Amino acid sequence: MSETLKRHIVIGTAGHIDHGKSALIKSLTGTDPDRLKEEKERGMTTDLGFAFFGDDATIIDVPGHEKFVRHMLAGASTIDFVIFVVAADDGVMPQTIEHFEILKLLQIKRGVIVVTKIDLVDKKRIETVIGEIKQLIKDSFFENAPIVLVSNVTGEGIENLKRTLRVLIEQTETKTDKGVFRMPIDRCFTMKGFGTVIAGTVLSGRVRVGDTLELLPQKKELKVRGIEVHNKKVDEVGTGFRAAINIIGADKEEIERGNVVAQPGYFEPSFYMNGSLYLLHSAPPLKNFTRVHLHLGTGEYIARVVILQKKTLEPGEKGMVQFRLEKPAVCDIGDRFVIRTYSPVITIGGGVILEPKAEKIKGFDEEIIEHLQKMETQEPIVLVEEDLNQTWKTPLTPEDISRDINLPAEGVKNLLDELIKKDIVLLIDARRALYYSKKNLSGLKERILEIIKLFHDENPTLVGIPKIELLNRLPKGIDNILFNFVIQNLREENKIKITDDNKVSLFNFKVKLDSRLSEIITKIEKIFLDARFQTPDIESLLTKNIGEPELLKKAYRYLIDNGTLVYVGEGVVFHKDMVEEAKKKLIGFLREHKEIRVSEFRDMLNTSRRYALPLLIYFDTKGITIKRGETRVLGTGGGV
């Protein structure tokens, strides 16, 4: 069933209506690309037509009529090089110019110029038309393109054109394969006995019969039932090939041009995407928030253009923009686009998508502009670095990054290793394979140190900020693993200190006490020493008239924070000396008697069960004792 597929080339056509593009393709291939009855009757191509040139190339015939330029864009977005057609009798016409501008915007840089209908004119007219063409292509990617003269009626020049196309096919470089399957749909039809068939050019990756694909933006699961290339059944198809894929899971009515089939889990539909836009010299100034037709992949969308660096983009200028779409689209980093005015519909510019899944941008942001300028390189290692830089609240796995930038995880892992060697990225958790940007690490450290300093300024009498409070003061969504990594990192750098009860302070911070507060602290400490094992709570202290309520609370918290007073649970607090005394008595008793009951511990301390039980439970948590039924035995833990 399967045939070995060699490299495949997709050739497009461009040019004004009725300049003989479809007739030329029939002369080259023997196939009439006008597949619709409407086209036969009108003598013009209204939608995409397809024909095979040899066994390694497909020619896409695109319409020339202005009304159908959107179909031309759908075809042109996936071609390797172009046959640019100009009729000898008409010469360069409006759609000739518009198609040429579109080819430039889509960065289709190779092709052949074909002058058709030479049987209708004399040599002088042909020379005039060639002059018009050379003026059009001057200083462009097409300046040195071959010009071939043909007649579709007499066949003159057709063999020469075939040879020229063969040379271009051989010279065409293989498309870069990102490894993740994606195919924009440009045709969908039903075949009797087979069901739904989708067709398009595979932009990346491979797909096999039996594979599962995702239909986007519908997010619908599809099963690959069969694949055809050049009307031949194959087991698999890869980058650069035009393919017809027989699918299970969706009807023809559910699918439209512009939809995408892709490897599940990588591509996400989005209403917002960022890119770099070039405005044609012939275009009017583009104002911020202008409504346009956005041609992307094989789809057409209505979108608002948000200009990120200024209020208006002038003709001939390039700028960073955000598209806000009225319906979601699916694309990838590096996809080319063209924009046309909403009404009347005129091509005014185009560019490249830099962020296919963007957040809504509010106002000018220099960091976003800088980020997008870096993304313009489209180098995989830069894409990985920027993905990490843009995700500062959480570390990422290679799989996370792979889904963000649509590259295979193994390739991402190799790029991460390179970035680690360059000291740009850190592996913060080897077991979970979590990576984080060093640039973001530096910024997060600064935020944390600022929060701690602010806490010290607000609470000069407190030892430090509770670790959980520190986390809560950071922006919502900070990953716990990342937070603990940064705290440990700051501790190792002697930037912070952490107490046994998780109070965090700057390394050189010292509690500041004024004379009045020191006086109250001394009084409270004496009260707890005198009370021994029947201590007051904070409410009782407030009634003793030993200081202003606010100062008393600060003093009380200070004594707990610095460990002078020990909270053992159930609202019970003891002086640290009393806790140590109780521990020694308890250990001595257990060494002699092996076990102790709560009542015995209570009597030993000359207190009540209200105080004795919380203290015993506290010793349990420290490993001093182990509860066994109604008694405690000696544990193996260290001191309190």
- Averaged confidence pLDDT in the chain: 89
Higher per-residue pLDDT: 638 or 203: 203
Q: What residue has token string 């799989």? A: 399
- Which residue type, as a one-letter code, is found at position 537? D
Element (H or E) spanning 488, and its range? helix 480-492
pLDDT of residue 184: 93
Q: What is the DSSP string of 533-573?
A: TS---HHHHHTS-SS-HHHHHHHHHHHHHTTSEEEEETTEE
340-364 burial: b if 16+ Cβ within 10 Å, else e: bbeeeebbbbbbbbbbbbbeebeee
pLDDT(489) > 50: yes
**Contacts of residue 347, Cβ cutoff 8 Å, sequence gap at least 6:** 69, 98, 101, 102, 105, 280, 338, 339, 340
Please, where are the H alpha helices in 138-206? 158-171
pLDDT class of 217 with cuts at 50, 70, 90: very high
Least confident of 149-153, 442-446, 558-562: 558-562
pLDDT(327) > 60: yes
293-306 burial: b if 16+ Cβ within 10 Å, else e: bbbbbbbbbebbbb
**Contact between residue 304 and residue 290 where contact means Cβ atoms under 8 Å apart:** yes
pLDDT class of 66 with cuts at 50, 70, 90: very low
Reading the block at residue 284, the tokens are: 């009017």
Distance CA 71, CA 64 (A): 9
- Using a pLDDT cut of 70, give the percent of the chain over it: 92
pLDDT of residue 70: 58
Q: What residue has token string 């894929």? A: 245
pTM, full prediction: 0.77
pLDDT(448) > 70: yes
How many C-beta atoms lie closer than 10 Å to residue 80's C-beta? 22
Q: What residue has token string 């041009």? A: 257
Among residues 373, 206, 408, 204, the alpha carbon closest in space to that of 275 is found at 373
pLDDT class of 50 with cuts at 50, 70, 90: low
pLDDT(399) > 60: yes
Domains of the chain: 9-171 (3.40.50.300), 182-262 (2.40.30.10), 270-372 (2.40.30.10), 379-512 (1.10.10.10), 515-634 (1.10.10.10)
pLDDT of residue 242: 85
pLDDT of residue 1: 37
pLDDT(40) > 60: no
Element (H or E) spanning 199, and its range? strand 195-201
Burial class (CB in 10 A: 0-12, 13-18, 19+), 393: middle
Torsion of CA 295, 144, 49, 183, to 10 degrees: -50
